[in-house]
């Protein structure tokens, strides 16, 4: 395999977002969604709001897209309000020596996250990884023909390959979300499933056929490199 290009997801891949950050973002999203439903005279109790947020996330890959599509909200406004977390630094939970571990990988690294730019940049700085990634691709940058196309959009992944001028087989997507790995595999990329930060029992699920390597942590990437190259 020629030198790979590593595409890293951010939340629950490079750090434990389920610990405190996702709960904080979910609260902010609920506040936003509830206010909007209330203003429009729609049912807005907690169960409705939670179900809506989760449904959009599952259907589209981001809650934001559902809010834009079905409620005509302004994407930038929604992203800003829901990801503005003052105490981010104290909420970050990541593995020790992450930078050293990632530096052991041959080839360059690109961040590919469905999170907004400001949040992703701040988090990468907190993690000490910001200088080691060639590019940080956030949700605002994932567009095809002017439309937002975040992961798991195959259209966007193909566009990314064309822009980077690389063959899909050279790219490795490292992720916790299976739908995104499935899309990456469909366009010809290699796939690594990171399981340790998943809040449910997904770690017990066996490796799906579109996952090349299943590991608990990005720590195990270097050790599994040969399996990816095979
Ligand atoms: Mg993730």
Compute, in angstroms, the gap from residue 194 CA to the centroid of ligand 1: 9
Compute, in angstroms, the gap from residue 200 CA to the centroid of ligand 1: 14
Give φ, ψ of 3 to 5 degrees. -50, 125
d(CA 112, CA 175): 9
CATH number, residue 35: 1.10.150
Compute, in angstroms, the gap from residue 61 CA to the centroid of ligand 1: 10
d(CA 205, CA 201): 7
User: Looking at 35, 64, 83, which one is the last position of a domain?
Assistant: 83
The answer to the question of residue 89 being in a domain is: no
Closest by CA position to 157, among listed 133, 173, 177: 173
Say if residue 143 is in the same domain as residue 223: yes
- pLDDT tens, the chain, 230 aa long: 678 999 999 999 999 999 999 999 999 999 999 999 999 999 999 999 999 999 999 999 899 999 999 999 999 999 999 999 999 999 999 999 999 999 999 999 999 999 999 999 999 999 999 999 999 999 999 999 999 999 999 999 999 999 999 999 999 999 999 999 999 999 999 999 999 998 766 556 789 999 999 999 998 888 887 777 65
At residue 174's C-alpha, the angle toward residues 80 and 178, to 5°, is: 80
Q: How many domains does the chain have?
A: 2
Say if residue 163 is in the same domain as residue 185: yes
Compute, in angstroms, the gap from residue 85 CA to the centroid of ligand 1: 18
Compute, in angstroms, the gap from residue 159 CA to the centroid of ligand 1: 21
Give φ, ψ of 215 to 5 degrees. -135, 155
């Amino acid at each position: 395999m020629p030198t790979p290009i590593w595409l890293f997801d951010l939340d629950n891949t490079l750090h434990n977002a389920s610990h405190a950050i996702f709960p904080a973002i979910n609260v902010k999203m609920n506040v936003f969604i509830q206010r909007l439903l209330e203003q429009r005279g729609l049912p807005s109790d907690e169960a409705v709001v939670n179900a809506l947020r989760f449904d959009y996330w599952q259907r589209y890959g981001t809650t934001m897209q559902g809010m834009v599509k079905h409620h005509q909200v302004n994407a930038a406004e929604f992203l800003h309000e829901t990801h503005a977390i003052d105490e981010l630094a104290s909420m970050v939970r990541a593995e020790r020596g992450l930078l050293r571990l990632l530096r052991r990988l041959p080839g360059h690294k690109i961040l590919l996250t469905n999170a907004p730019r400001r949040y992703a940049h701040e988090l990468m700085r907190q993690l000490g990884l910001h200088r080691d990634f060639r590019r940080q691709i956030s949700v605002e940058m994932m567009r095809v023909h002017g439309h937002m196309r975040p992961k798991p959009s195959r259209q966007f992944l193909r566009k990314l390959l064309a822009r980077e001028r690389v063959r899909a087989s050279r790219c490795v997507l490292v992720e916790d979300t299976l739908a995104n790995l499935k899309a990456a595999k469909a366009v010809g990329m290699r796939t690594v499933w990171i399981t340790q930060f998943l809040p449910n029992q997904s770690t017990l699920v066996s490796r799906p056929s579109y996952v090349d390597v299943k590991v608990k942590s990005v720590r195990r990437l270097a050790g599994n490199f040969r399996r990816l190259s095979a």
